Structures are given as structure tokens and as C-alpha cells.
Amino acid sequence: MITLKQFAAKLFSPIWGGGRGRTGNVFVMKEPFAGAWQRNLEATREDMLSFHAIYACISLISSSISKMNVRLVRKDADGIWSEYESSAYSPCLRRPNSIQNRIQFYSSWVTSVLTSGSAYILKKRDARRVVTELFVLDPNRVVTLVSPSGQVVYELQADSTAGLEEPVRVPASEVIVHRINCFYSPLVGLSPIYAAALPVLQGIEIQKSSAAFFQNNARPGGVLTAPGAVSDETVEQLKTVWEANYTGLNAGKVAVLADGLTYKSFDVQSAANNQVVEQLEWSARVVASVFHVPYYMISGEMPSSENVEALQTQFYTQCLQSLIEQIELCLSEGLGVSGSLAVEFDLDGLLRLDQLAQMEWLDKASGKLTVNEMRKILNRKPLTGGDSVFLQQQNYSLEALAKRDASPNPFGNGGATNDNGTLKAGEVNNHFNTLNKLRNLENAA
């Protein structure tokens, strides 16, 4: 008789079959280029993450997304989306689980996607089948299984933080999966680190070489020569004394040579001649391009443009927007939010303007937003009478202008008043001339 576990093992097969180069559903970097393995140039994910540009890009993207508030919104009869409170969804969005706050949770989510290509979020439900907690799983401990009929099941290893005391298989409905760069399978993503392996390995080797060079106080090795024959014992003695007194931390000290000994240093190009800085910058630029991060954001060198809003918008559109919208969709589908409800990030936390630019923007929004709507953006309380949209009097609708142009005398130079009882242009001028004469008489008196 076959057991249920054996039946499941026959029914489902891992999407990668435990193939070379993968742990769970995560691609493990072994060869950054063809032939690297034979030269002992393996590159692990830990090696990749130790490179400053990789660390900077991942931490920048994850912190930028996680700092935004996640909210439930509802579309009203006019098609306007506004924040909405629901006892079924809002608590989980505010506090995804008991061990992580909102910022920590979404930072872990984005970090998992960028480092592994996929993020697996386990759902915990209550008796109502409502999702009450979400846990980011270690992608190295998740295996995707697919049945011949196409049914997807996830095999999860034990994870005490997520409440998994032993390995378990769960249906796809109980796991939110966020994948990017699905080059090999639609069910498994690929990290951007994969494309940055060679420049990262080059950058790490440059830094190792530079550290070894300066560890010796930038003093290269050399050779001691004697005018005559020297015994092996004397050679070993001279070498020991020289290394102990004039290398490492003692490099640069004055050496006193006797018996005709001379020292000649090897000619080694300096770090500047080897263009170490330029090579490291090239490696970092390639990494930034792989993650779609503007290079100035990880180099600390601000561009000449002073338009902070434009720079932030560029960062959002080319780097963050796709990830943000994918997470929103994953959450909406994973929590069962549908119809007139949706989950979205509040972009105000990301695209905040400086105070001067914000006031200029609000000034241009006059006539489109009410005073209280503008005060709400500034986190100010509403005012009495501030719920109306104000426009200047000289603004006319196209319909009113069309009626004026269709009249027999659009310029109003005829009688004293127009058809609607208002003064015509000529009469208005006469009226203001009379007022000016009266003011002049009063001033003269």
C-alpha cells in the first residue's frame, strides 16, 4: 500500500528537479563566466552581497518601498479612489505579523525578490478563512511542485518564525508569490545579481588587491644583493631580519646595510596608474544599471540638476514603479480583495516635495482643489468655508465666450448695456473716468 506522502511524491515533481545551480527555487551563482570554476573563481550569493554597489542598490530599493504606507482603497460611484477601513483587510495591512512591523515586513519582501528573484509569503488564516498574518519565507527553503495536470503546490521546510514546525506542502492559494525576471520558468524568478556577477567579481578582486597593496604601506617587495657569494644560512638570516624589521607595519623604516649589501625595489605601478578608482566605478555603474538605479543615488554625487522632484520621479518610474505595482497586485489577489476594493501604496511617502516646491504646486492647484483639500496635504485642520473651489472672476467658460461671439455686437460698443443688463465696454470706461475725476477733486481739496 502506498502512503499519502509517497503518492504526493509521485503526483508532484519539483519545477527544477534539484538540478545543478539551484537550492530550492533560488539560483545559486557558481560561475560568473565560462571557465571560472576551473580557475577557482566561484561567486556565491554572499560574495555578491558583500560588494558595496549590490548592497547599496538593494538597501536603497527596499527602504524606499517599505517606507511608504500601504492602504486599502475603495472606488466610489464617481470612480474616485479613497482610503477605506475594513475589519477583514486593514489590520493585516497595518501589521502583517506579530514579529515584524510594516516597514520591516515589506523590506524583507523586496530584499527577497531582489536577492533571489522570488518572494514567498505564507498566509495565516483565522476560523473565518480571513488572512490575519503574512510571513516572508526563506526562498532557499521553498520548492515549487507541479502535477501533470498543472496544479501547483509549494513544499515548505520547517520555519519557526512562520509557525512551521516541520516540512509541509501547501496549495498555491496559501502562498503569495512575487517573481521577477522569469527567464527559465514562469514559476521561478531570477535575481538581477545574476547579470552583475562578472563586474562584481572584478570589483571584489580589485579591492582585495588594493587592500593587500596598502597593507604593506604601499611598499612593494624587492631584492637584497651582495657583492660576493652568500651561504644559504646567511640568506635565510637576512631574509628573516628584513621581513621582521622593514615590512608590514614596519615598512618605511630606515634600513642600514653593511658588507656591500644593496636593496632594489621592484617597479610596480601605483594604484592611480592602474586606474583602480575608474575600474571600481565602472563595476558599480554596471551594477546600478542592472538594478535600474540612477548611479548618482549610490555614489553620493548629486547631478547638476536642482529639480529634486524630477530626479525622484525618474527613480520611481525606472526602478520602483514595476515592483510597487506588482506588490500591490500580489496583495490584492492574495488577500482576496476585489471589485471596488484594492490595495495600494501611498506614493506621498516617496515623492515628497521640498517646502518651496510644495507651496508652488499648491498655488497652481488653486481652482482645482479646495482650500481644505490643500490644507489636508499640508497636514493642517480644515477651515470654515474652505470646502469650495475658488476661481478668479475674469475666467469664463467656453460656452459663455461662444455665446458672446455669436451676439450681433460681441465687443459691446453700441448701447449702454448688454443683453444681460451689464454695462458695455464703453460705458465701463466712462464710469471709471468719472470716478477718477472725483478722486482728483477730493485730493485737491
Amino acid at 103: I
Mean pLDDT of 85-91: 90
Mean pLDDT of 239-257: 64
**pLDDT for residue 134 is more than 90:** yes
What confidence tier does 24 reach under pLDDT thresholds 50, 70, 90? low
What confidence tier does 39 reach under pLDDT thresholds 50, 70, 90? low
Nearest Cα to 325, choosing from 300, 305, 348, 343? 343
**Separation between Cα atoms, residue 66 and residue 106, nearest integer Å:** 5
Q: Answer for the pair 140, 26: CB distance below 8 angstroms, yes or no.
A: yes
Q: Would you state the pLDDT for residue 2?
A: 39
Q: Would you state the pLDDT for residue 22?
A: 47
Q: Answer for the pair 376, 370: CB distance below 8 angstroms, yes or no.
A: no
**Separation between Cα atoms, residue 247 and residue 240, nearest integer Å:** 11
Q: Would you state the pLDDT for residue 122?
A: 95
Q: Would you state the pLDDT for residue 426?
A: 54
What confidence tier does 442 reach under pLDDT thresholds 50, 70, 90? low
**pLDDT for residue 427 is more than 60:** no
Sign of CA dihedral 309, 315, 317, 322: negative
| Per-residue pLDDT tens digits for 381-415 | 888 888 887 777 677 778 887 888 888 877 765 54
Element (H, E) at 74: strand 70-75
What confidence tier does 7 reach under pLDDT thresholds 50, 70, 90? very low
Confidence (pTM): 0.68
Amino acid at 379: N
Out of 116-120, 219-223, 289-293, 358-362, which region has the weakest mean confidence (pLDDT)? Answer: 219-223
Q: Would you state the pLDDT for residue 13?
A: 52
Express as a percent the part of the chain with pLDDT over 90: 26
Maximum mean pLDDT: which of 14-18, 20-24, 93-97, 218-222 = 93-97
Amino acid at 415: G
Q: Would you state the pLDDT for residue 11?
A: 46
Long-range contacts of 268-271 (CB under 8 A, 24+ apart): 268/220, 270/218, 271/210, 271/213, 271/214, 271/218
Mean pLDDT of 298-323: 81
The average confidence (pLDDT) of the chain is 77
Cβ of 172: how many Cβ atoms within 10 Å?
A: 15
**pLDDT for residue 81 is more than 60:** yes
| Per-residue pLDDT tens digits for 203-238 | 777 777 766 666 655 454 566 677 767 677 776 777
| Per-residue pLDDT tens digits for 169-203 | 999 999 999 999 988 888 888 899 888 888 887 77
Beta strands in 127-198 (DSSP E): 131-137, 142-146, 152-156, 168-171, 175-179
What confidence tier does 372 reach under pLDDT thresholds 50, 70, 90? confident
Q: Answer for the pair 369, 391: CB distance below 8 angstroms, yes or no.
A: no
Q: Answer for the pair 181, 191: CB distance below 8 angstroms, yes or no.
A: yes
State the Rg of the chain over Cα.
36
**pLDDT for residue 63 is more than 90:** yes
What 8-state DSSP symbol labels residue 123? Answer: E
Q: Would you state the pLDDT for residue 214?
A: 62
Q: Answer for the pair 354, 360: CB distance below 8 angstroms, yes or no.
A: no
**Separation between Cα atoms, residue 182 and residue 190, nearest integer Å:** 6
What confidence tier does 241 reach under pLDDT thresholds 50, 70, 90? confident
Q: Would you state the pLDDT for residue 261?
A: 67
Burial class (CB in 10 A: 0-12, 13-18, 19+), 260: exposed
Exposure b/e, 202-230, CB count within 10 A at least 16 = b: bbbebbeebeebeeeeebeeeeeeeeeee
Express as a percent the part of the chain with pLDDT over 70: 67
**pLDDT for residue 307 is more than 70:** no
What 8-state DSSP symbol labels residue 439? Answer: H
What's the Cα-to-Cα distance from 285 to each of 57, 116, 281, 329, 408, rounded to whole Å? Answer: 11, 21, 6, 31, 69
